Chain A
């Protein structure tokens, strides 16, 4: 699997990911813009309104019928948060032409409908169609309110909010209910027009195809032709840009909700901004809590039997490590104590050469696995694009191999608790 990138227009890149491994092709458009409290809700609403209808397919039913006739192409829209950016995504997956019962050019059709939904929305009186905007406002309201439904995810989001109270990363990707009232078909269309003129746009085509053919389909596409050259505004996020101050004291917060099991989340800052420190931090995170061999799994689960699920994860865009576990509520102090002991052991270098090697194998195997999953590989390449860091899978592997124990220990000593959040009843 290899990626070729072409900036067909300034600020608009096409990523060709050629692979023969899948039965499917994926086409995706990512529109990236800095996360801001004032625009987050509008931006979250935009893809949902786009999905409702285009100038060629007036409503969802028509779009869906078109997709079904393309052997059930899957079409998805949504928003994501990656570092300090909000990303609007549109995504289509179709059967590769080699596996169709009859010969057809589905690839071309799929790229066309993708561009149509993204850039040729249904317009009435110079604005989005009001009915669609109002309907989607209702839906988005419910989506925002449903953030309490998944308690594990809710606990993580709350911890992030506590750590970043006034900063973009603390913003919820779907926005805020109070902002919805201010939105109408006119101002939403204005925001959309601004977005598609100024944002960074990345187009991905993944699968078995000829680059020349796809380049031709895209550059001849009417909607693509209408896009202007731009100096794309977005935030480059990586371990070098996410600079942290040591927290004065650990922020401890407890919240009561209707849960059976307590959800504990610990947010930590990594105070290290050297280039390529992500590799040592990944290894630190794996030894600490990302695999079944990790200190958390072994000690919190296997030895103390306090949890079924316990792990840590590394968010490299923000230089954070989050620890999460689900525990019996009265075991809070006990679990916290054991977790602190693990962090201390990491600082003192109490992990073996074996643990280091096993963590390396684990990371290298996951990175190889990314190439085996078509959608995961697209997201991986997008992540690289937005962190301004494009390296091949082989280089990634080399850099992981080079990390030594002293470097991991150094990271452990620079990884400082910022917040502890506990969701309980």
Chain B
């Protein structure tokens, strides 16, 4: 078992790779009553085309199937539902699907082992029937319609569609009513057996655990599985250029919502260190340009062009990377214009040492704050793992990020031709 310690937050992670390929990570927290377990597979909404290990033909599956599969995992042959079973134990259980992974989790203060039994049982035993698949089409249909009424979801999805021509990141995680109607139990079993192999999965536990002991307990509950060779995932070749400069949609909102986005090269082969440094540098950069203390934010706020500080994000995976600045404004086009002016100004004048140091301190504080809650910690380690990162890396590499790194990412990624604007406007 490998042990990695971080001195800034005074925490340790124990990492074990089991014989069947499953990676287990344990982050012990002595002071807490709450225990959190999350079990994830590296399989998300973008994995719609692949070659099953041992086969030659390409398998293509309907959009939204990873999320559909997540819903269906709870169903048991004896007619019970694992979500009910876990809830009856007083355990808070859930599951979610993202672009690049699917995760099953629970948090509890009591009945931990009973809950672990149930989690490990249902994730290892899929049970799909024509009838239970049909039933779920109704429920997920309502979930899709619920998202249709969220302007914030629309403006985000449209930004992705403005950036990407082919990459399946542009597709809604849930799929559409039409695509989910094409899902059947055979396809679900095929996706399950391909992607839910232990070698494609990781389990993260955070709470008051003895690492050695809990790993033994997990081993006891694992089914034997033949080893699996690599899953060949096929992503369409995404052109470097953006798809569409501006996407505007009308909804019943009081004030427009906007996303300014930048499509970035995917750089799948970069090292862990390089990914982390780039990420920190981008966070510092965005905060210097339009964060709460920035000149630009102050100006836009005083002019009434921004209601509150915009949300700044950078997301990446093996097949995509993008920056998004999300906010509300009466005049998104004007915000975009001012933003671009500021970007150009910083490209010319550079960043001052004072602002760099100050914002860098903030980023440090933000990373430390991530270590308060067992659930936040476990989800972070899981999501970072699928990106090829150990979360402690952010605290380790933090010092290594220089002003030059930040100026480099500014010049390299904030490019006019890679920029898009998505707006949701009020209906007239």
Q: Taking beta carbons and an 8 Å cutoff, which residues of A are in contact with B?
A: 19-24, 59-61, 64-65, 67-73, 93-95, 98-99, 101, 135, 138-139, 142-143, 145-152, 257-261, 291-293, 298, 301-302, 305-309, 326-328, 354, 358, 360-362, 364-366, 368-369, 371-374
B409 on the A face (CB < 8 A): no
B-chain residues with CB within 8 Å of residue A69 when the two chains form the complex:
358, 361
In the complex the two chains form, is A151's CB within 8 Å of B8's CB?
no
> Do A292 and B93 contact each other (CB < 8 Å), given the known contacts A68-B293, A328-B145, A372-B33?
yes
A residues in contact with B223, CB < 8 Å? none
A139 to B309, CA, bound (A): 12
Q: Are the C-beta atoms of A142 and B374 separated by less than 8 Å?
A: no
CB contacts between A and B, total, < 8 Å: 177
Interface centre among B9, B146, B330 (most CB of A within 10 A): B146
Known contacts A68-B293, A142-B255, A142-B307; A59 and B298 CB within 8 A of each other: yes
Q: List 23 A-B contacts (CB under 8 A).
A: A21-B32, A23-B371, A24-B369, A60-B298, A64-B292, A65-B358, A68-B361, A72-B363, A93-B369, A94-B365, A95-B365, A135-B301, A142-B254, A145-B254, A146-B328, A261-B149, A308-B140, A326-B145, A326-B146, A358-B88, A364-B90, A365-B108, A368-B109
A146 touches B149 (CB 8 A): no
| Contact A362 to B87, CB < 8 A, known contacts A72-B364, A95-B368 | yes
Partner of B368, one of A20, A71, A301: A71
Q: Which residues of A contact B150 (CB under 8 A)?
A: 150
Q: How far is the CA of A24 from the CA of B255 in the complex (A)?
A: 35
Chain B residues, Cβ within 8 Å of A68: 292-293, 358-359, 361-362
Task: Mark B residues whose CB is within 8 Å of A.
Answer: 8-10, 31-34, 81, 83-84, 86-93, 107-111, 135-136, 138-143, 145-146, 148-151, 251-255, 292-293, 295, 298, 301-302, 304, 307, 328, 330, 358-359, 361-366, 368-369, 371-374, 427
User: How far is B146's CA from A322's CA once the two chains are assembled, in angstroms?
Assistant: 19
Chain B residues within 8 Å of A258, by CB: 251-252, 427
Question: Whose C-beta in chain A lies nearest to the C-beta of B143?
Answer: A308
Alpha-carbon distance A60/B251, docked complex (angstroms): 32
**Could you tell me the distance in whole angstroms from the C-beta of A23 to the nearest C-beta in chain B?**
5
Nearest opposing residue in chain B for A329, CB measure: B145
Contact indicator B83/A292 (Cβ below 8 Å): yes
- Contact among A261, A292, A360, A364 for B87, CB-based, below 8 A: A292
User: Contact at B146–A261, with CB atoms within 8 Å?
Assistant: yes
Which residue of B143, B148, B372 is within 8 Å of A374 (Cβ)? B372
Out of B135, B304, B365, B374, which one reaches A139, CB within 8 Å?
B304
Whether A327 pairs with B304 at a CB distance below 8 angstroms is: no
For residue B109, which residues in chain A have a CB less than 8 angstroms away from its CB?
364-365, 368-369
Residues of A within 8 Å of B86, CB to CB, are 292
Closest to B148 in A: A260
Closest to A331 in B: B142
Nearest opposing residue in chain A for B83, CB measure: A292
Q: What residues on B are CB-neighbors of A365 within 8 Å? A: 90-92, 108-110
Chain A: minimal CB distance from B250 (Å): 9
Other-chain contact of B304, A61, A72, A135, A152 (Cβ < 8 Å):
A135
Q: Given A65-B358, A306-B142, A326-B145, is A20 in contact with B31 using a C-beta cutoff of 8 Å? A: yes
Do the beta carbons of A308 and B142 come within 8 Å of each other?
yes
